[in-house]
Amino acid sequence: MRPEPLDRDGVRLRLFHTGDAVDLTTACNDPLIQRFVGTMPAPYTDADARWWITEGAPAVWAGGGAAYAVVDPATDRLLGGVGIDRVVPFRAQAEIGYWVAPWARGRGVATAATRALTGHAFAAGLARIELLTHPENVSSQRVALAAGFRREGVREAANPTRDGGRHDLVAWIRLAGDPVGPTPRLLPDLPAGRLTDGVVTLRPLAPADVEFLHALYTRPEVVAVRVPPVAPDLAATQRRCALAAAKWLAGQGADLVIEDAVTAVPAGNCALVYEDQRGRQAMVGYSLLPDWRGRGFASRAVRLLANWAFSSAGIARLSAGTSGENIASQRVLERVGFRREGLLHKRFIGFGLDRGDNVLFGLLPDELTG
């Protein structure tokens, strides 16, 4: 691959030079870069920057890859870095990676740089490019989608951490014949980041919601109507909150907090799980804290979620299920327009050796009420 300058969408890709050392050192000590780029020295020193400029980056080029500084075309100030490494000539395959300095985020720098270098790499003969992201690095996953990469799967425990542990990597790919992008998403973002009817608000579940969510799903009366009736441990709740945004981007599901629209106090949880992509069918579920029951919050939340699913996400059918004894939850679904479709006798394991029935409900777009 030739180390020629590349210009696209307001950024320039050029070779690193010694004038980048100060900005390189500052940027690479940023907490987000330190967290998500595990190979970055910690702390990142001026000596590390100079080594990269004079030895590290040239070695990448010598090995058939690419190591570009991403800079502002007008000022030549360093905005980030993008590169291609781990080249496998026999497979015409390589891996792309990027980082963006704190002062350049939110400007589309990573997307523009990734598109430019990907196109350059395909023109040089590569047929397949991989992009690996930390499961919690949602910004990087958005870049992958915007640059035309498709989510291929998860590589379990594929990356070592500085403390001796390991974490998963989400694998994304783009082939030479793929469209430039962006990659279509099954589940779009919520308009303005939330849904509301003035009484109830739905917003995406976030890492900061661990304490609330764990308190909700460990209450005995909530556990009693869960399927199965088992409380999650704290680690499971932390994982759920940490990975909720990534699962949304992957089209697997939308996990939301139900809030009082006036006070923004969390009242419960509402979720959509994509069950059948070809059939465009998804399942909904919900739980409320006891203090918020009997006030219509669950029906309003399910109605908001269903309307978004049908109108924005293109879902053709929603399903839901409750335990046979959960009459209150069944009434919530009926108020929104769900029809009872059947019963799976003794479908779920309950407390002890008991088994409980599962009541099935379905909803089509023209059946939504309210």
Asked whether 353 and 232 are in contact (CB, 8 A), the reply is no
The residue written with tokens 């053709």 in the block is 316
**pLDDT given for residue 350 in this prediction:** 54
**pLDDT given for residue 227 in this prediction:** 65
Q: Which residue, among 172, 159, 343, 332, has the nearest Cα to 246 in the 3D structure?
A: 172
Distances from the Cα of 59 to the Cα of 6, 15, 65, angstroms: 20, 12, 9
Asked whether 200 and 194 are in contact (CB, 8 A), the reply is no
6-175: which CATH topology? Aminopeptidase (3.40.630)
For residue 233, with 0-12 CB atoms within 10 Å meaning exposed, 13-18 middle and 19 or more buried, which class applies?
Answer: exposed
Asked whether 253 and 290 are in contact (CB, 8 A), the reply is no
Asked whether 204 and 255 are in contact (CB, 8 A), the reply is yes
For residue 138, with 0-12 CB atoms within 10 Å meaning exposed, 13-18 middle and 19 or more buried, which class applies?
Answer: middle
Asked whether 182 and 148 are in contact (CB, 8 A), the reply is yes
Tokens for 18?
């010694």
Q: Rounded to whole angstroms, how far apart are CA atoms 256 and 266?
A: 10
**pLDDT given for residue 370 in this prediction:** 79
Domain ranges of the chain: 6-175, 191-367
* Tens digit of each residue's pLDDT, the chain (370 residues): 789 999 999 999 999 999 999 999 999 999 999 999 988 999 999 999 999 999 999 999 999 999 999 999 999 999 999 999 999 999 999 999 999 999 999 999 999 999 999 999 999 999 999 999 999 999 999 999 999 999 999 999 999 988 888 999 999 999 999 988 899 999 999 999 999 999 999 999 999 999 999 999 999 888 877 666 788 899 999 999 999 999 999 999 999 999 999 999 999 999 999 999 899 999 999 999 988 999 999 999 999 999 999 999 999 999 999 877 788 999 999 999 999 999 877 656 554 446 667 789 999 999 999 7
**pLDDT given for residue 344 in this prediction:** 77
Give the chain's end-to-end CA distance (angstroms, integer).
59
Q: Would you call 68 helix, strand, or coil by DSSP? A: strand
**pLDDT given for residue 39 in this prediction:** 86
Q: Rounded to whole angstroms, how far apart are CA atoms 228 and 72?
A: 55
* CATH class name, domain 191-367: alpha beta
**pLDDT given for residue 332 in this prediction:** 95
**pLDDT given for residue 355 in this prediction:** 61
Segment 208-212 long-range contacts (CB within 8 Å, at least 24 positions apart): 208/241, 209/241, 209/257, 209/266, 210/234, 210/237, 210/238, 210/241, 212/257, 212/266
Q: Which residue, among 311, 335, 301, 315, has the nearest Cα to 202 in the 3D structure?
A: 301
